[in-house]
Amino acid sequence: MKDVIRRAVYEKYIAPTKAERPDYIGVEIEMPVVNLNGEAVDEQIAVRTAEAFSAHFGFVPENRDAESNLISAKHAETGDILSFDCCYSNLETSFGKAAGLFEIKERFENYIRFLNAEFAKYHYTLTGMGVNPAANINHNQPIKNERYRMLYHYLHSYPQHVGEVAMRFHERPDFGTFTSASQVQLDVRYDELIDTVNVFGLLEPYKALLFANSYLPDYPDFLCVRNMLWEHSMQGYNPHNIGMFAKPIADADELIDYIGTQSIYCTMRDGKYVDFTPVTVNEYFSRDSITGEYFDGEAYRPITFAPEHSDLDYLRTFKFEDLTFRGTIEYRSSCCQPLSEALTVAAFHTGLKEKLPELKELLEQDTVIYSHGFSAAELQKLLSKRRKPAFADAAAVEKQLIRILDLAADGLRKRGRGEEALLAPLYRRAAMHTNPAKTMLDGIENGTPVAEFIRQYAAI
């Protein structure tokens, strides 16, 4: 059985990286819906706005919840999708695979202009923040469908598992309803797969300095609280499912081994989601049965079932560099950015992908942050906080950030599309030693109300 599952892992995750295909870019941007009256979001306003958007742009509804509210709609020609993620106060635009960043930027800005014009009728807005500024006001309830009901239930099961793993659970299992990410998927070739995973892992601490944009008053030390919320929840029950790799991956065989140590926590039986205590892939498929629970329409019921090979499709991980079944790496650690700078995340990763050998050399020889006894994972956590460690010399960090951005700009120039212009906001952040979360908090401390930043970060 182990050889069969190992082969299935290879076919799902590794084999696609060997397929000949053009390079494409996939971008997903989640955005908070904010009621500017300082009250909870009325979910029906969000749904009506999405319906108006779909009608205006010719998107075809794909999914609705148990009460027939729109969940997602897709444009047949572009492959773009408008959807609600986890709840109706977190709206996502996902773009069909594209060759260039400016075509995504143009469509994104057209969508935002329309959506915010519609939201303005209700004194609402979409804004560019990684945590909804009304996180402690909104209802934070899941979309009423199988997937999100299961996920909400699973995340709230953490009190049953305290003490089972060496981890402190936080007390915001509703975090999926108020956190927003900016994610990019880039095709990866087999011969660059391992370097890509390892090198971009080394890059994560520097990314925290540039892209942090998720502040939650419950956790005032963090400028990027999103990643902590993921890691200290049931999603992090198995640390191999989230965050960073503890050490470099040696080769594809070791990556396959690693995937075998990641955990499955849900599957479907008879059209119903079943969730259960996470079980590693290797153990899951060695068992005769798994015991979990499902919602029967009225209450959660226990169920015991036999594993099936197709359950591998429900392995859902949240690594910062996540290998997908499409032959892509999905870069997941960045917060939603101010909407006028929304494409900085995709531009940064796309440019550096083109300069992988140079980036590898720069980071493997780095002494600015990598000479103080901390691992990449530890540094990423340290540099996600408002108070920076004493060893992080500001001038030296700035110079290294500029070197990294110069590599990204060179990579984008190599593509010949003028996309290097999209990096301008990141150069400004590096020079000013700031990021969107720090800019906002500094402004608030100097008397600027948070409402002003909501508006600023909503502008395009």
How high is the pLDDT of residue 2?
73
Pairing of strands 90-94, 25-35: antiparallel
How far is C-alpha 88 from the chain's CA centre? 18
Domain enclosing residue 217, as ranges: 17-141+162-245+318-458
Q: What share of the chain is helix, strand, coil (3-state, %, to 5)?
A: 45, 20, 35
Assess if residue 260 is contained within a domain: no
Assess if residue 404 is contained within a domain: yes
Assess if residue 200 is contained within a domain: yes
Q: What is the three-class DSSP state of 129?
A: coil
CATH number at residue 366: 3.30.590.20
* Residues in the chain with pLDDT values less than 70: 1
Residue 338 and residue 460: Cα distance in Å, rounded?
Answer: 8
How high is the pLDDT of residue 373?
95
Structure-token match 């720090």, residue found:
438
Assess if residue 420 is contained within a domain: yes
Residue 151 and residue 146: Cα distance in Å, rounded?
Answer: 9
Alpha helix ranges (H) inside 261-306 = 281-284
Query: How is residue 10 written in tokens?
Result: 């290879």
Assess if residue 389 is contained within a domain: yes
CA distances from 202 to 42, 175, 236, 356 (A): 42, 27, 21, 12
Question: One-letter amino acid identity for 364?
Answer: E
Q: Calculate helix-pair angle for 252-260, 2-9, nearest 10 degrees.
A: 120
Q: Any idea what DSSP says for residue 278?
A: E
How high is the pLDDT of residue 141?
96
Residue 208 and residue 223: Cα distance in Å, rounded?
Answer: 9
C-beta atoms surrounding 113 within 10 Å? 11
Number of domain units in the chain? 1
